[in-house]
Amino acid sequence: MTRSLRELVKEYITERRVRKYRLVTRDGRCNIEFGNVMHRNRFAYVLDIWTTFVETRWRFVILHFVASFTLSWFIFGLLWYWIARDHGDLKWQNPPSNRTACVNSVNTLTYAFLFSLETQTTIGYGDVYITDVCPGAVALLIIQSLMGTIINCFWCGVVMAKIALPKKRAKTITFSDSAVICPKKGTLCLQIRVANLRKTLMIGSQIYGKLLRTTITPEGETIILDQVSIDFMVDAGKDNLFFVCPMTLYHIIDKSSPFFDMAVDTLHQQEFELVVFLDGTAESTSSSCQVRTSYIPQEIMWGYDFLPIISRSKEGKYRVDFSNFAKVVPVPTAHCAYCYHNEAGHHHHSINGIDNQGFVVIDVEMPNITKM
């Protein structure tokens, strides 16, 4: 029997609510905000102005870029206007025709702004130029040239730093949409697949995870983000991975694992978030970067395994089929970790009945039985 529309809407709202409250999004961004930060702590962002601008969004960087140059041109234009006014070179001051001005043709505020722009950008149109009759104008020319060089160097550094951010390299490393739990190498494992979309290696790659959940201590204290370390391994170990092709990471579910007490019918009722980290150094830029993603209980599939993704062609080349990257197939799997390891006393059994679609009621004729 199909479910009603109300049940579908309720399920959709519940799923959206669960996804909304995850700490780390699928693309690695942290869903966290800081409140009631003291004003003196906010001033630290100004002291660390370089990091502040490097981490600022591109639209604000472009806005500050345009504003800094325009403002500096205008401020120095006012200074050039003040020098011309002090020397009596402005039109409304009616200077004599044979008088040598501090800056030739700077007799209005517009010309003062244009000369400021030409000076700072090292543009010379020939009609507006400085003379040697005003020492203050020479000093201002030197100061503006140095300030223009400093502003240019600062913004060139910010743009280059933002372009070369390691997080851009992390965009070419992807994780599977879901995690699976199934037998592997004689034990029950939680598996995740990760792929490097570039042919350049990630040197010194390390994989680890954190299980985030709310716990209550014996003293009655509630810990909102209690972190439990989750070890992930591949066939070659967990350190210095040869990350040249997609790998399947697996976490052994033994007695020390927080997944040991879960079962197929209780997994999606849990409230936790599994955050997976991959640290490494980009081979082409030698910059360290971290890639992270997260999985909630609804994104972990019990009793499934990933399809093979690597094959070898007749020419001897290795081929990676990304169409099977996130595809899974059902495999025989124990109901719970206790069942798999034959641990007594903690077997999980579902209390909800299921429909047996193949069950058919038939009439059976009982034979005549003679009582003795």
Domain boundaries, the chain: 56-164, 168-342
Mean pLDDT, residues 344-352 = 50
DSSP state of 30: B
81-95, 150-164, 215-229, 293-307: least confidently modelled range: 215-229
Q: Which CATH number fits domain 56-164: 3.10.180.10, 1.20.120.790, 1.10.275.10, 1.10.287.70?
A: 1.10.287.70
Contact 106, 140 (CB under 8 A): no
Per-residue model confidence as pLDDT tens digits over 169-188: 777 888 998 999 998 878 89
- CB-based burial, 323-359: b 16+ in 10 Å, e otherwise: ebbbebeeeebbbbbbbeeeeeeeebeeeeeeeeeee
Per-residue model confidence as pLDDT tens digits over 272-304: 889 999 888 887 777 788 888 899 988 899 999
Q: Is the pLDDT of residue 364 over 60?
A: no
CA distance 293 to 23: 10
CA distance 15 to 9: 10
Mean pLDDT, residues 307-328 = 82
Mean pLDDT, residues 63-83 = 94
Q: How confident is the model at residue 116 (pLDDT cuts 50, 70, 90)?
A: very high
Mean pLDDT, residues 62-89 = 93
Closest CA to 190 of 347, 280, 295: 295
Per-residue model confidence as pLDDT tens digits over 122-150: 887 777 888 888 899 999 999 999 999 99
CA distance 322 to 331: 21
Q: How confident is the model at residue 366 (pLDDT cuts 50, 70, 90)?
A: very low
Residue 51: how many CA atoms within 13 Å on its side-chain side?
5
Q: What was the pLDDT predicted at 362?
A: 43
DSSP state of 307: P
Q: Which CATH number fits domain 168-342: 2.60.40.1400, 3.30.70.3190, 3.30.300.30, 3.90.50.10?
A: 2.60.40.1400
Q: How confident is the model at residue 200 (pLDDT cuts 50, 70, 90)?
A: confident
Q: What was the pLDDT predicted at 351?
A: 44
Mean pLDDT, the chain, as a whole number?
Answer: 80
The amino acid sitting at 223 is I
Mean pLDDT, residues 161-169 = 78
| Maximum mean pLDDT: which of 28-37, 276-285, 310-319 | 276-285
Mean pLDDT, residues 190-202 = 85
Q: What was the pLDDT predicted at 148?
A: 93
| Parallel, antiparallel or unpaired: strands 187-196 and 179-184 | antiparallel
Closest CA to 210 of 275, 255, 296, 291: 275
Q: Is the pLDDT of residue 238 over 50?
A: yes
CA distance 78 to 106: 11
Q: What was the pLDDT predicted at 127?
A: 79
Signed CA dihedral, 62, 65, 68, 73: sign only = negative
